[in-house]
Amino acid sequence: MLIRIDDLMGPEIAALLDAHLANSRRFSPPGSIHALDLSALRAPDITFWTIWEGSTLLGCAALRELAPTSGELKSMHTAEQHRGRGIASAMLRHVITVAEQRCYREIYLETGSMEGFRPSRELYGKFGFVQCRPFGNYRPDPNSVHMRLDLTRGGAART
């Protein structure tokens, strides 16, 4: 598997992000969807990666810089047909490593509180993310779970 920074120009990534947004819409009411579309992911404060096996796109993730010492995990998604192979773990390890190289003290994320998002919350928990109060521009929402990974305590769990 190869993880690389993506320019968000290929048709494969557009299709994967459409699937990501459709998944968000399936589980979350409209006012509680915080997934970014293709154009929003092109913002200069976001680094976007894809993970490939040969010419097959397996998944993606992004890291938005919130401040010089913190970031937010965005758009973490594994193609449905490739789930259960450790792709999300590989991607999350990569994002955490980059955050540590940038000397971030913490990474935040927002995910859904519904059952459909349980596997994501469990994955984040295995890596050391814990629930926290809303951060940035997020507001309290019963459909959202906010999580934080403290990178100052000797690094994250690398399951």
Proportion of the chain above pLDDT 90, given as a percent: 64
Task: Answer whether residue 121 is part of any domain.
Answer: no
Say yes or no to pLDDT of 8 above 70.
yes
Mean pLDDT in the chain?
89
CATH number for 33:
3.40.630.30
Distance CA 71, CA 136 (A): 10
Distance CA 63, CA 5 (A): 11
Distance CA 101, CA 130 (A): 21
Task: Answer whether residue 133 is part of any domain.
Answer: no
Confidence tier at 85 by pLDDT (50, 70, 90): very high
Task: Answer whether residue 96 is part of any domain.
Answer: yes
